[in-house]
């Protein structure tokens, strides 16, 4: 079923904002720059342009594939030879554009970055109504492997729904899956390429959460944080530093620990390549049409 006019209008507006975000982020990712400054600039641009972040900007470096967002007062800076993935989301009334790009600061991993970008281009060229996602995954896998690297097999693209970053369907990065694409499906397509083993595992660092189960809580500080999250973020992921800014670091830490213990929020630890391989990512959001897919942003 094709998108209706109002849905498409929201996606187009989110894509416009996402385009300006990419330009700003690409200019700021430089050796010696602070990751927190890039994150703040990206999220401020989204909010200042009339949209909202669909999730905290991920700024994942080298063997970290995903889910690194800076903490409050984060002192981390980009190194001279870092490979930096900037993964950002924009939503307008719940309609999400999810996009990412990789910056090779040392100019030593250009072929790895090209592998991810070529895989994305070839994947989106393959997508149309009636195509099995296994075929799309096979194209991603073949493209990356032919360039001498490995796709990360336990990461994947995902369908997008209204206020849902992952709405149940996957675009695999290897030849796997059985879902057949339908007209009107909206997907984030995100190949990951690595010179490592081709798998990721959870790391210890975690600054991203999402609300998964709204219910009454006893502690007053937890209740205040929960009410704010339900109104501000709904079901979309949020950064602990956002909660720090609204309340305080102490209140945020106590409340999130309490809410996590009660399984009201879930956490998203960083994802690291298991053999410490360097990871590159490319991503865009598409809508599936009868004879092709339309790149939204």
Q: How far apart are CA 252 and CA 258, in angstroms?
A: 10
CA 133 from chain center: how many Å?
20
Q: Where are the CATH 1.10.10.10 domain residues in the chain?
A: 208-267
pLDDT of residue 261: 97
- Strand 186-189 and strand 156-159: the pairing is antiparallel
pLDDT digits 0-9 by tens, 16-62? 999 999 999 999 999 999 999 999 999 999 999 999 999 999 999 99
For residues 266-280, give the mean pLDDT.
98
What architecture does CATH give domain 208-267? Orthogonal Bundle (1.10)
Residue 289 in 3-state DSSP? coil
Query: Would you mind telling me the total number of residues written for the chain in this entry?
Result: 297
For residues 198-202, give the mean pLDDT.
98
Rounded to the nearest 10 degrees, how much is the dihedral formed by the CA atoms of 252, 254, 256, 257? 150
Q: Is the pLDDT of residue 1 over 90?
A: no
CATH number of 5-203+270-295: 3.90.230.10
Classify residue 77 by its DSSP letter. B
Q: How far apart are CA 36 and CA 241, in angstroms?
A: 10
pLDDT digits 0-9 by tens, 216-239? 999 999 999 999 999 999 999 999
Q: What is the pTM of this model?
A: 0.96
Q: Is the pLDDT of residue 289 over 70?
A: yes
Q: How far apart are CA 190 and CA 98, in angstroms?
A: 9
CA distances from 14 to 28, 48, 50, 52 (A): 21, 13, 9, 9
pLDDT of residue 202: 98
pLDDT of residue 81: 98
Confidence band of 3 (pLDDT split at 50, 70, 90): confident
Q: Where are the CATH 3.90.230.10 domain residues in the chain?
A: 5-203+270-295
Mean pLDDT of the chain: 97
252: alpha, beta or left? (left if phi > 0; alpha if psi -120 to 50): alpha
For residues 153-167, give the mean pLDDT.
96
Classify residue 297 by its DSSP letter. -
Q: Are 41 and 71 in contact (CB under 8 A)?
A: no
On the 0-12 / 13-18 / 19+ scale of CB atoms within 10 A, 5 is exposed
Q: Are 52 and 91 in contact (CB under 8 A)?
A: yes
Which residues are part of the catalytic machinery?
87, 98, 158, 166, 190, 283
For residues 202-219, give the mean pLDDT.
95
pLDDT of residue 4: 87
Confidence band of 112 (pLDDT split at 50, 70, 90): very high
Classify residue 133 by its DSSP letter. H
């Amino acid at each position: 079923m094709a998108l209706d006019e109002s849905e498409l209008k929201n996606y187009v507006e989110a894509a416009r904002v996402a385009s300006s975000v990419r330009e700003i982020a690409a200019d700021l990712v430089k050796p010696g720059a602070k990751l927190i400054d890039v994150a703040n600039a990206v999220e401020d641009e989204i909010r200042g342009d009339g949209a909202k972040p669909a999730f905290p900007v991920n700024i994942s470096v080298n063997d970290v594939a995903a889910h690194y967002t800076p903490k409050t007062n984060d002192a981390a800076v980009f190194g001279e030879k870092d490979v930096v993935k900037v993964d950002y989301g924009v939503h307008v009334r719940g309609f999400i554009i999810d996009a990412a790009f990789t910056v090779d600061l040392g100019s030593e991993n250009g072929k790895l970055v090209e592998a991810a970008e070529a895989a994305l281009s070839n994947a989106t060229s393959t997508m149309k109504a009636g195509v099995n996602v296994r075929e799309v995954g096979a194209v991603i896998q073949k493209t990356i492997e032919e360039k001498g690297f490995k796709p990360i097999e336990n990461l994947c693209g995902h369908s997008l729904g209204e206020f849902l970053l992952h709405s149940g369907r996957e675009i695999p990065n290897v030849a796997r899956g059985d879902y057949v694409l339908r007209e009107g499906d909206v997907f984030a397509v995100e190949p990951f390429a690595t010179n490592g083993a081709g798998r990721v595992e959870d790391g210890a660092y975690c600054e991203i959460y999402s609300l998964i189960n709204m219910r009454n809580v006893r502690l007053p500080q937890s209740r205040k944080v929960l009410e704010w999250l339900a109104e501000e973020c709904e079901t979309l992921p949020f950064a602990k530093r956002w909660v720090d800014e609204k309340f305080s670091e102490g209140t945020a830490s106590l409340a999130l620990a309490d809410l996590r213990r009660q399984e009201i929020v879930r956490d998203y630890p960083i994802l690291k390549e298991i053999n410490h391989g360097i990871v590159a990512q490319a991503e865009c959001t598409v809508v599936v049409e009868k004879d092709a897919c339309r790149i939204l942003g």
